[in-house]
């Protein structure tokens, strides 16, 4: 499938999360494509473990469907792409290339818009608005944001309204997808950990009993 893509190399596959984790630590790939069949809880724990052990590896979640709240959770854990299994191969390749380039890829997000327009090229966000965007990217709710920034939940809503107006995003889910780009983080903020991470202590894998599905 990837044979015709000169910029993508297939490093291998593994039958379960534990084997995949070992392979990631050994090979240090740029991207790992994860089937969600082991269960979302196990997959989210796996993503967090991968980000801790191999920071240069960007997880892409391969799913049949995923609710918005679970998309938030996946992004918060460190996923950089969420791809539906029903999409054609061309979409898979586009997703992998986008994630490899430092973008967040989710079907239907503005960065996959066919007109290629960028309606939020340089929004002028205030320092407080940038703090709130960062909190949204972390998957926090308005009440949690208010507590973290020592403001009221109502003030958070007002700031979000201003952010939506300035950036053109339609809701907090889209803001979570675009937030790193709006803050100018993207690839520059992603720590790269080389092969030396293979020498790190093996973390306790809480999902190892869920293999074989």
Do 21 and 100 lie in a common domain? yes
With 0.75 as the threshold, say if the pTM is over it: no
User: Tokens at residue 208, please?
Assistant: 């190892």
Mean pLDDT of 68-85: 84
Residue ranges making up the domain that contains 72: 17-116+197-208
Do 49 and 154 lie in a common domain? no
Do 33 and 104 lie in a common domain? yes
What is the pLDDT, as a whole number, of residue 146?
93
What is the pLDDT of the chain when averaged over all its residues?
Answer: 77
Burial class (CB in 10 A: 0-12, 13-18, 19+), 90: exposed
Of 142-146, 166-170, 209-213, which gets the smallest average pLDDT? 209-213
Q: Helix 153-167 to helix 172-182 angle, to the nearest 10 degrees?
A: 70
More confident residue, 199 or 162: 162
Do 68 and 171 lie in a common domain? no
Is position 2 within any domain? Answer: no
pLDDT for 102 beyond 50: yes
- CA 163 to chain CA centroid, nearest Å: 21
Mean pLDDT of 71-83: 84
User: Tokens at residue 129, please?
Assistant: 């608005």
């Amino acid at each position: 499938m990837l044979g015709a893509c000169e910029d993508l190399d297939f490093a291998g596959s593994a039958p379960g999360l534990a084997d995949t984790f070992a392979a990631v630590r050994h090979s240090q790939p740029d991207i790992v494509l994860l089937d969600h069949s082991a269960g979302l809880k196990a997959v989210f724990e796996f993503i967090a473990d991968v980000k801790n052990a191999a920071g240069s590896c960007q997880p892409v979640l391969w799913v049949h469907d995923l609710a918005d709240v679970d998309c938030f959770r996946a992004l918060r854990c460190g996923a950089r792409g969420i791809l539906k299994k029903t999409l054609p191969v061309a979409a898979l390749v586009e997703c992998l290339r986008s994630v490899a380039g430092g973008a967040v890829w989710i079907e239907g997000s503005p960065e996959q818009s066919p007109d290629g327009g960028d309606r939020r090229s340089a929004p002028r966000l205030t320092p407080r608005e940038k703090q709130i965007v960062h909190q949204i990217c972390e998957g926090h709710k308005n009440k949690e944001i208010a507590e973290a920034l020592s403001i009221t939940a109502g003030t958070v809503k007002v700031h979000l309204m201003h952010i939506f107006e300035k950036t053109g995003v339609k809701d907090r889910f889209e803001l979570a997808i675009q937030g790193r780009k709006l803050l100018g983080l993207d690839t520059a903020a992603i720590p790269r950990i080389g092969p030396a991470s293979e020498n790190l202590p093996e973390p306790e894998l809480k999902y190892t009993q869920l293999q074989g599905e």
